[in-house]
Amino acid sequence: MIRFDHEGYVLNEEVDKWAQNYSILAVPNSIFDGGYEQIVGNYPILLTNALNNCGNRDVADISADITVSWLGSGTIQVDITIENNDNSEYNGHIRACITEIISRYDTYYGNPYHFGFLDYAFNKDITIAAGGTYSDSVIWDGNEHYDNHGDDFGDIEPDNIQVTMGIINDDNGYADESVMGRIGENNPPYEPNNPSPPNGGTNIDIEADLSWQCSDPDGDSLKFDVYFGSTNPPPQVSWKQSEKSYDPGTMEYETAYYWKIVAWDNQNATSSGPTWSFNVREKGVENQAPEVYIVKPEKGLYLGDFKILPRFIRFSKIFGSITIEAIASDEDSGIEKVEFYINGILKGTDTDAPYTYGWKRSLFSFSFFGIFIIKVVAYDKEGLTAQDIKLTRKIF
């Protein structure tokens, strides 16, 4: 958001109000997830860790759709739908920001800003009952909205507008969900990927669930058709479900199963994944434990997330924050979760590969001689575990 013009005067009143909520005293200033993480100054080295910390935290089970339509003459329509998938009432605040992808405002060096804020499409409190849905729509006419120079926004171009909505939790002030919409040609979802059980897996448990990953290049919310069975091609068993998992029930021993996922975005564009397969284990054959390895940090000297010197010491030495990374695999039931421990204390859990935890050492943490024990524990979907341990020295 662009708060001041080149003379230091407030350019947009809404931006000024927003900035006061976050005590922004310097620029550049990057705020993530409604203030959960904040980077003051131009320090891209801190970006990865901030994003990982936001991605690994627990959030309410909220999903949202946003559609932006061009009505002509500098006017757009914004439609939103928010679903509360939790079993309790949700109270929050929505901010839907109308931005220009290439801004009309320039930096001090004469280059245009990107995603420059113009106005809010929505800026309001919401309450959604357990399992309920909230919908709203607004028509925004750029000819009727102005910056502090007195210039209206009636000259906006449809291919240069993006509306980004954040849903802020009333309890902690942090974002639970964000979606964005643009005017123009829609892109289909990415191909469904990362199947569990893994493609070609053997010795799979008869009670295993199916799960997968999928996202959309336009930020659209997705629905999924599930095809599953012991014949190839498999029959359809679920239609446009929201969850990225499916319970096929109890399967037969010593049987090959086939499955496929078709993803739908909110504009009915589709993307079909490949047909995956796995084999259920023989009756009486035991499930095998998973494997897990810490791949970062390794031996060497790190400045934040960047390794700057090779393996010249017995273990890693870290200055600043770092993202711990682990590789986990299981040929039977698949990986359920990966836990990250520092000196025996659980610090984070990740359920999706790549498995990471953003480690920001507290000023009040203690370790003899600055040496910390990193332990990573992987769980498969039947509860078996494996672990890997590394020693590291962290300076601050």
Is residue 187 domain-resident? no
Are 113 and 28 in a shared domain? yes
| Domain closes at, from 132, 147, 182 | 182
Block residue for tokens 């113009």? 118
| Residues 55 and 132 grouped into a single domain | yes
Task: Tell me whether residue 227 is in a domain.
Answer: yes
pLDDT by residue for the chain (396 residues), tens only, comes to: 677 777 778 888 888 787 777 666 667 778 887 788 888 877 778 888 888 888 788 899 999 999 898 898 999 999 999 999 999 999 999 999 999 999 999 988 888 989 999 999 999 999 999 999 999 999 999 999 999 899 999 999 998 999 999 999 999 888 999 898 888 777 899 999 999 999 999 888 898 999 999 999 877 889 999 999 999 999 999 999 999 999 999 999 999 999 999 999 877 889 999 999 999 988 877 778 899 999 999 888 888 888 887 756 667 888 888 999 999 998 777 888 999 999 999 999 999 888 999 998 654 455 555 789 999 999 988 789 999 999 888 776
Specify which residues 83 forms β-bridges with.
63, 133
CATH number of the domain where residue 17 is located: 2.60.40.10
What is residue 367's predicted lDDT score, i.e. its pLDDT?
53
Statement to judge: residues 98 and 173 lie in one domain: yes
Q: Is residue 295 part of a domain?
A: yes
Domain's final residue, options 182, 209, 227: 182
pLDDT at position 56 is 83
Same domain, 235 and 336: no
CB 202 within 8 A of CB 277: no
pLDDT in tens, 299-345: 888 888 888 877 566 678 888 889 999 999 987 778 889 999 999 99
Which candidate, 332, 327, 326, places its Cα nearest to that of 383? 332
Specify whether 115 is located in the same domain as 173: yes
Could you say which of 118, 147, 182 is where a domain stops? 182
71-83 as b/e, with b when 16 or more CB fall inside 10 Å?
eeebbbebbbbbb
Residue 107 included in any domain: yes
Residue 92 lies in a domain: yes
Distance between CA 355 and CA 56 in Å, rounded?
A: 10
Pair (297, 276) in one structural domain = no
Q: Are residues 172 and 198 in the same domain?
A: no
Query: What is the model's pLDDT at position 280?
Result: 93
pTM above 0.95, yes or no: no
Cα–Cα distances in angstroms (integers) from residue 306 to residues 170, 221, 358, in the given order? 36, 34, 13
130-268-184 Cα angle (round to 5)? 105
Same domain, 305 and 373: yes
Judge if 351 and 388 occupy the same domain. yes
- Tokens 């400045």, residue? 303
Judgement on whether residues 154 and 224 belong to the same structural domain of the protein:
no
pLDDT for the residue numbered 364: 45
233: exposed, middle or buried (Cβ count in 10 Å: 0-12, 13-18, 19+): exposed
Same domain membership, residue 155 and residue 119? yes
With respect to residue 379, please indicate whether it lies within any of the assigned structural domains: yes
Torsion over CA: 180, 129, 32, 335 (sign): negative
In a domain, 285, yes or no: no
Name the domain count of the chain. 3
Q: What is the pLDDT of residues 118-171, one digit of tens each?
A: 999 999 999 999 999 999 999 999 999 999 899 999 999 998 999 999 999 999
Enclosing domain of residue 338: 291-394
Q: Answer whether residue 6 is part of any domain.
A: no
Give the integer Cα–Cα distance in Å for 198 and 133.
Answer: 34
Sheet containing 245-246: order of strands: 193-196, 210-213, 245-246
Residues 6+ apart with CB under 8 A from 385: 289, 290, 377, 378, 379
Question: How many CA atoms within 13 Å lie on the side-chain side of 256?
Answer: 10
178 and 327 in a single domain? The answer is no
